[in-house]
Each structure stands twice: as structure tokens, then as C-alpha cells.
Structure 1
Amino acid sequence: MADGFTIAIDGPAAAGKGTVSKAVAEYFGFAHLDTGLLYRAVGAKVLAGRDALDAARTLVVEDLEDDSLRTPDVAQAASKVAVIAEVRAALLDFQRSFAARSGGAVLDGRDIGTVICPHARVKLFVTASAEIRAQRRFAELSGRGITDSFETVLADVKARDARDMERVEAPLKPADDATIIDTSRLTIDQAVAAAVAAVQAAGGQKA
């Protein structure tokens, strides 16, 4: 039942899509890919002096395991390289190959349901208000000892939203047939339950 069953989960930064995606993948026994890590890995290489397109073309799975990919600087660099059409094209095959794997796959990002996997069996768009997302990101960064002010974090969230939503190539937006999950007032368990219910409604079963 799970073979070729692809779940596409999109949404803006800090909306909870990563947490939801991991939980859904674990619940159904599917493989999971945080596609944002692809762009973060490219962004990190650009910060180190590499050409963006060359970095995208030579990316390997091991590049996604670097703990430094979660820093604010890398997040901003990822958002900037993501607007480059050639970079997106270079990473397309990697993502589609993962999505087609047997046993089922969950991919989360910003253009999974609209561009990468437009024929996914389930499409979810996980969102929340900019202020709520900034609060979550501020708490996360504070817990890791990063001392940016809340105002700085909120400005970064809004700037990234603008870049992601206004770019010409694969802008961030819900697919026409996506189920919207607004996590602004939901607990993690409630958000995950809503996602699992949507997958089950589409015929998803545990592997």
C-alpha cells in the first residue's frame, strides 16, 4: 500500500512543518526528507566561498548532516540561493528520486506540492502567523545560546517570507488541493493528529 505513496508538506519557516513531517513519517513508517536542508547545505557552501550552482550539483547526502546548517546565517543564505532557478533545477532530481522510493516518502519544504511532487497522494500546507513563528524561532535560538532580539528574529522571518513568496521560481504557496493546517493555536500533538487524519483520509496506512 505504501509503495509510491508520497506526502508533500509545505509551509513557511517555523510553522511546524518539520516537526509534523517527522512525526507523520514515523507514524506511517515512511522515509523523510527535509528538503530545506538541501538549500541550507548549498547556502553553507556559498558562505564558505563556493559557487551556488557548483555546490548544488555536487551535493551529497553527507552534506545534510552538518549541525551548522541550523544557524540563522545559513538559513538566510539558503533563502537567497533558493531564488536561483539553476540551483532549484540541480536539486530537482534528488528530491523526485527520494519521493518515488518504495515504502512511502514524506518530503517537506516550500514547493513540494506545487513543483517537486504535484501528483503527491497527500498535500499539506502547514502555516502560522509571522509573530507566532518568530516566537518559536526566538525560543529555539535562545535555547541554543544565540542572542538575537525578538525584533531581529521577527524581521528575519518576514524577510524570508517575502523572498520565498515573491520569487519567480517556485514561490511558496499552498497547492490548490492542499489541506491547510494552521498551527498558530494548535499543540504539536493536535497538529500531528490533523496531518495523520488527512493522510488516512487519502488511504495512507502504516507500512
Structure 2
Amino acid sequence: MTDHKITIAIDGFSSTGKSTVAKQLAKELSYVYVDTGAMYRAITLYAMRKKYITKDSFDEESLIKDLPSLHLKFVFEASRGFAAIYLNEENIEDEIRTMQVSQNVSRVSALSGVRKKLVSQQQQMGLEKGVVMDGRDIGTVVFPNAELKIFMTASADERANRRFKEMKEKGQEVSYDEVLKNVEERDLLDTTREDSPLVKAEDAIEIDNSTLNIDQQFQKILQLAKASIEAHNK
């Protein structure tokens, strides 16, 4: 039997636990994990730092011009148990998880210039297979031929509640209503943007985890992954 590694694409709405299960899956299978959402958040943080994004404006042209000078990479950190994202050699893993970045990331990820740069990088990262990648367009655009595609969803209320608890645990001052509004706004932007909108791939397996805990979700997806790997090793 050959040791045929596969590509696992996990797409879905914000705060459905895509990153959590993708990290678990990659660790269990000894695969590489790539958090594409972190890549879009990194560019969003950069745009905010440069004042390309303000409360009332978005200087898209200046951001696009800067893209060639932006360097993104993932570096494994034992203390976290996963690879943190670096922007131009700076670890920004914690900074990209704030509500401010969440409120702007969908606008940045809608830009064709940004998507073109990051999709190219993501495809390079997955050339060797043996990769678990999560995002919004992995199974439709980045890896349309992925052997296993998962599409994750949950109610907006449930997702907002999870996100709210997570942010409060990190000491961030946010209200539940603020988080729910952000979840709903991101859903609208992600599903209606012109370039690579969030849609379920025809051959993706949909998982609604509204009533699943983290372990139940992981076990369900792990069994799907093992079955796919076994099928492709025959």
C-alpha cells in the first residue's frame, strides 16, 4: 500500500470552529496546517497600521501597491501547539485576533489583488499534499481538486456566542451584540463579494456543528479524513 497523502479543504462561515478542527486534524494526521484566515487578517492589520483603513475610508490602491513588500510565513511554536503567523518577521498571531481586525477583514479579503497574492501562496504551500487548509474558498478556488472537502456552518447566534466567550477569555472588552453584528456583517460580505464568494463546493460534505461540542466535531471529521485517506491508498 502506498502512503498517499491527501489535501483536506475546510471552508465555512466565520466562527464555525474551522481553525480549531483543522489544527486538531493536522496534528492527528501529522499533516501541515495552513490558516488562510490568518493571512487575510495579517494584511488587514498591516492596512490598519498604515492608516489605509480608517473609520471612514479605505485606501485600496495604496494597500495593493504595498503587497509585493509584505512577507507572510508560519512558524511552529511549541507553546501554542501550532504555527503562528509572521508579517515581515514579526509575530502578529495575537494582534490579528482583535475585534478591530475582525470588523475589517472581509473588506480586505474582497480585493482581487489581495486574493490573487494569497491564493498563489496557499497553492504553493499545498503542492506536496499532506495539508489541512481552512478558509472561505479552499475547496472552490485554492484546491478545487482536494480529495476531501468539508463545509462548516452553524447558526449566527451560536457562532456569535462562541466568539464572544473566546474574546472575553482573552480579556477583550466586547459586547455580545457587537460580536453578533460582526458575524452577520461578515456573512453578508463573504457570500456576496464578486471575487471568490463563500459558497459550498458541490462535492463538499456539509457539517452543521450548532449542537456539536469540539470533540464530537473533531471525531466526525477525523473519521471522514481517515475514510478518504484509505480510499485514496487502495
Tell whether the structures are fold-level matches, with TM greater than 0.5: yes
Deviations 1:107-130 (A, max 9, x none): 000000010000001000111110
Other-structure match for 2:179: 153
Note if contact 1:53-1:87 (Cα within 8 Å) is conserved in structure 2: yes
Cα separation, partners in 2 of 1:147 and 1:2, compared to 1, 3 Å: farther
Other-structure match for 2:167: 141
In terms of Rg, which structure is larger?
Answer: 2
- Large movers: runs of 4+ above 4 Å: 1-4
Q: 1:115 aligns with which of 138, 141, 152?
A: 141
Other-structure match for 2:71: 59
Provide the aligned C-alpha RMSD in A. Answer: 1.7
Once the 2 structures are TM-superposed, how far is the Cα of residue 204 of structure 1 from its aligned partner? 5.1
Other-structure match for 2:193: 167
Cα separation, partners in 2 of 1:19 and 1:2, compared to 1, 3 Å: farther
The one-letter code sitting in structure 1 at the alignment partner of 2:63 is: A
Structure 2 residue 16 is matched with structure 1 residue 15: yes
Of all paired residues, the percent bearing the same amino acid is 37
Other-structure match for 1:30: 31
Give TM-score, length-normalised by structure 1. Answer: 0.93
Q: 2:96 aligns with which of 51, 66, 69?
A: 69
Other-structure match for 1:185: 211
Once the 2 structures are TM-superposed, how far is the Cα of residue 10 of structure 1 from its aligned partner? 0.5
Aligned residues between the structures:
204
The residue matched to 2:229 in structure 1 has which SS? Answer: coil
Note if contact 2:4-2:229 (Cα within 8 Å) is conserved in structure 1: no
Tell me the distance in 1 between the aligned counterparts of 2:220 and 2:66: 37
Other-structure match for 1:80: 107
Cα separation, partners in 2 of 1:202 and 1:86, compared to 1, 3 Å: same
Deviations 1:70-112 (A, max 9, x none): 111112222111010111001121100111125x000000000
Q: 1:90 aligns with which of 93, 117, 129?
A: 117
Once the 2 structures are TM-superposed, how far is the Cα of residue 18 of structure 1 from its aligned partner? 0.7
Point out where structure 2 has 5 or more consecutive residues left out of the alignment: 53-61, 74-85
The one-letter code sitting in structure 2 at the alignment partner of 1:165 is: T
For structure 1, which segment, 177-186 or 53-62, has the greater mean C-alpha deviation from structure 2 after superposition?
53-62
Point out where structure 1 has 5 or more consecutive residues left out of the alignment: none
The residue matched to 1:93 in structure 2 has which SS? Answer: helix
Note if contact 1:56-1:91 (Cα within 8 Å) is conserved in structure 2: no
Other-structure match for 1:45: 46
Once the 2 structures are TM-superposed, how far is the Cα of residue 146 of structure 1 from its aligned partner? 1.7
Give TM-score, length-normalised by structure 2. Answer: 0.82
Tell me the distance in 1 between the aligned counterparts of 2:5 and 2:123: 11
Note if contact 2:64-2:114 (Cα within 8 Å) is conserved in structure 1: yes
- Name whichever structure is richer in strand by fraction: 2
Q: 2:127 aligns with which of 86, 93, 100?
A: 100
Tell me the distance in 2 between the aligned counterparts of 1:122 and 1:8: 6
Once the 2 structures are TM-superposed, how far is the Cα of residue 177 of structure 1 from its aligned partner? 0.5
Note if contact 1:33-1:106 (Cα within 8 Å) is conserved in structure 2: yes
Cα separation, partners in 2 of 1:156 and 1:122, compared to 1, 3 Å: same
